[in-house]
Amino acid sequence: MEHLLNPHVREIEISGIRKFSNMVAGIEDMVSFTIGQPDFKTPEHVKQAGIRAIEENKTTYTHNAGDLALRKAAAQFVKTKYNLSYKPETEVIVTIGASEAIDITLRTVLTPGSEVILPGPVYPGYEPAIRLLGAVPVHVDTRANRFKLTADLIRQAITAKTKCIILPYPSNPTGVTLEKAELQEIADLLRGRDIFILADEIYSELTYNLQHVSIASFLPEQTIVINGVSKSHSMTGWRIGFVFAPEWLTKHILKVHQYNVSCAPSISQMAALEALTAGIDDAHAMKKEYEKRRDYVCRRLDEIGIGYVKPDGAFYVFAKVPEALKRSSFDFALDLAKQQKVAVVPGSAFSKYGEGWFRMSYACSMDQLEKGLARMEKFVANLS
């Protein structure tokens, strides 16, 4: 009876990241640079807040939009950090991670046939969500522009069907981000057009050498900001994300959220409240360590002779498959895993514009980085 299923569901595939990670999972002595999972523990004071929530029986439904104290803390967090102003009562929704936030936003603003502009290469989670709605993802080739989706590139891609533009910066998989002047140009281009901006800013607290700027500071009336505590506080399993948007829009997104999940887990909400108040700067120590690892990885890739674009944030390096090896990104990653037990993600997992590259996460210990890069160096030397 498989032919009776929704064709949009039948046509999408499992994420290329997970697909490759699952292929190499369980192999003894594998050094994995695949999943974007912080290797730090959730801060102890945040864990204790979760424990207290259980002990105090805070285990019931919350308001559909989330506990008001948490919404107030989230609004204050983005005000303090990024100078964004949202009313906690009506312009903030607590979601089950940034993934649900993205999904309910797209389900609210898209209709069948709508076009969504997004950079290529890009995190593979957006395209299936778009296609499930009968909408059309339009990947823009950013390879010649340091993987940045600029106003000029957007201008060339806009059509009468364009309904939304996704700005996922700092970027997964490339680690690059957009600077203030670049965001201003995009805002000037889109101001007054019937086009939404979905700004996925889940890595906003992990930027190096520059302060994160949100396009919502220039164009709040058309922007939906997605954020959460997964990366900033190493809380991926707690599943807490946020939607920030104008009240007229949030009230409709909330309807989709309500019928989808009712509310985010109450215990996780209490832990997130602690993270965004007492732990407002918890990301600083993690960011410092990530920056140290980034610099090490870049230095070693230079020594090995592998090209890359230096990341501005997040915890990924997007590196070039050496042309001399004459391999696709998938074959490169598969051979590297089989021959040297090092797992990276093929660039093809991030759209066709990622072909010829591979993503390497440095959200792991220095020992693992040293071991894995030594093996990678041996692999490249043997094949060259």
Domain map of the chain by residue range?
2-42+282-383, 44-276
Q: Does 44-276 match 2-42+282-383 at the fold level?
A: no
Question: Which contacts (CB < 8 Å, 24+ apart) does range 372-376 have?
Answer: 372/31, 372/33, 372/342, 373/297, 373/300, 373/301, 373/304, 375/31, 375/340, 375/341, 375/342, 376/304, 376/306, 376/336, 376/340, 376/342
Q: What CATH code would you report for 44-276? A: 3.40.640.10
Q: For domain 2-42+282-383, which architecture applies?
A: Alpha-Beta Complex (3.90)
Q: Are 269 and 117 in contact (CB under 8 A)?
A: no
Residue 356 pLDDT: 97
Residue 60 pLDDT: 98
Q: Give the model's confidence band at 28: pLDDT under 50 very low, under 70 low, under 90 confident, else very high.
A: confident
The verdict on whether omega for the bond into residue 170 sits within 30 degrees of 0, i.e. cis, is yes
Q: How far apart are CA 47 and CA 49, in angstroms?
A: 5
**Residue 332 CB coordination number (10 Å):** 23
- Give me the percent of the chain exceeding a pLDDT of 70: 98
Mean pLDDT of the chain: 96
Q: How far apart are CA 216 and CA 229, in angstroms?
A: 19
Residue 14 pLDDT: 72
Return phi, psi of residue 263, to 5°. -165, 165
Question: 366-383 and 329-340 are packed helices; what angle lies between their axes, rounded to 10 degrees?
Answer: 110
**Angle at the Cα of 97 from the Cα atoms of 135 and 244, rounded to 5 degrees:** 75
Q: Cα separations (Å) of 334 from 162, 325, 328, 341?
A: 37, 13, 10, 9
Q: Is the pLDDT of residue 287 over 80?
A: yes
Residue 35 pLDDT: 83
Segment 110-138, tens digit of pLDDT: 999 999 999 999 999 999 999 999 999 99
Residue 239 pLDDT: 98
Q: Is the pLDDT of residue 4 over 90?
A: no
Q: Which of 342, 359, 361 is nearest to 122 (CA)?
A: 359
Segment 161-186, tens digit of pLDDT: 999 999 999 999 999 999 999 999 99
Residue 283 pLDDT: 98
**The sheet that has 115-120: what strands, in order across it?**
92-95, 241-244, 223-228, 196-200, 162-167, 115-120, 136-141
Q: Is the pLDDT of residue 66 over 80?
A: yes
Residue 145 pLDDT: 95
For the segment 42-71, the average pLDDT, to the nearest whole number, is: 98
Q: Is the pLDDT of residue 375 over 70?
A: yes
**The sheet that has 316-320: what strands, in order across it?**
308-309, 316-320, 357-361, 345-346
> 22 or 103: which carries more pLDDT confidence?
103
Residue 383 pLDDT: 81
Q: Cα separations (Å) of 278 from 46, 67, 103, 172, 241?
A: 9, 17, 30, 28, 18
Per-position DSSP letters for 239-296, written without gaps between them: --EEEE--HHHHHHHHHHHHHHHSS--HHHHHHHHHHHTTTTTTHHHHHHHHHHHHHH
For the segment 367-383, the average pLDDT, to the nearest whole number, is: 96
Residue type, 155: R
Q: How far apart are CA 121 and CA 153, in angstroms?
A: 14
Residue 237 pLDDT: 97
For the segment 32-61, the average pLDDT, to the nearest whole number, is: 96
Residue 16 pLDDT: 65
Burial 208-244 (b: 16+ CB within 10 A, else e): beeebbbbbbbbbebbbbbbbbbbbbbbbebbbbbbb
Q: Give the model's confidence band at 187: pLDDT under 50 very low, under 70 low, under 90 confident, else very high.
A: very high
Residue 223 pLDDT: 98
Q: Give the model's confidence band at 9: pLDDT under 50 very low, under 70 low, under 90 confident, else very high.
A: confident
Segment 298-324, tens digit of pLDDT: 999 999 999 999 999 999 999 999 988
Q: Which of 62, 63, 107, 71 is nearest to 91 (CA)?
A: 71
